[in-house]
Structure 1
Amino acid sequence: MTKATPNPAMADVAQLSYEQAREQLLAVVTQLEAGSASLEDSLALWERGEALAQKCEEWLEGAKTRLAAARVSTGSTSGD
């Protein structure tokens, strides 16, 4: 599977903090659930939502990696 050409309108997603991306993702979901957008607008919202969800996932994976590294460096192996 090939990747689509990056959408310049989504470029700002890369600059968002986790909190910003999550807040915007919630707004997108709310708009989609309202069902008042045109098909084209709904598709654009969906694409933005996917990009925001991916950004949130990247932040969370990074946090997990940092926590695992901190546990290793302190010698903690407990999952508590």
Structure 2
Amino acid sequence: MTEPTPLTDLPFEKALAELEDIVRRLERGDVPLEDSIAIYERGEALKKHCEGLLKKAEARIEKINISPDGKATGVTPLDVDS
């Protein structure tokens, strides 16, 4: 079995694809117990990694303020809670 890619090297899309593959494998139920535990732990780490990447992306999203005449007047951080 090959070593998994370090989480710090995984972009969101690849981490999510790997997580989805882990879920499929666990749902099939044909993975030996020890392997199931190992891939479950990898899945938990991938989940946390994806959540962290999403939070960083949300922090970068900005809302552009448009004046009545249609010109951009500035930017403010997106209010994620509303």
Same structural fold, with TM-score higher than 0.5 when normalized by the shorter chain? yes
- Structure 2: distance between partners of 1:76 and 1:13: 28
Task: Letter of the 1:55 partner, please give it.
Answer: H
SS at match of 1:36: coil
Give aligned-pair identity as a percent.
Answer: 34
Aligned pair partner of 2:63 in 60, 68, 71: 71
Bigger Rg over Cα: 2
Higher relative contact order (CA 8 A, sep 6+): 1
Mapped contact 1:10–1:51 kept (Cα < 8 A) = no
Q: Which runs of 4+ in 1 moved over 6 A?
A: 76-80
Q: Would the alpha carbon gap of residues 77 and 36 (structure 1) be closer, same or farther in structure 2, given more than 3 Å must change? A: closer
Q: Would the alpha carbon gap of residues 27 and 11 (structure 1) be closer, same or farther in structure 2, given more than 3 Å must change? A: closer
Name the counterpart of 1:41. 35
Name the counterpart of 2:71. none
Length-normalised TM-score, structure 1: 0.73
> More strand per residue: 1 or 2?
2
Length-normalised TM-score, structure 2: 0.71
For residues 6-21 of structure 1, the aligned pairs below 5 Å read 12-21=6-15
Name the counterpart of 1:62. 56
Q: Would the alpha carbon gap of residues 39 and 16 (structure 1) be closer, same or farther in structure 2, given more than 3 Å must change? A: same
Mark the runs of 5 or more structure 2 residues left unpaired by the alignment. 65-73
Task: Letter of the 1:27 partner, please give it.
Answer: D
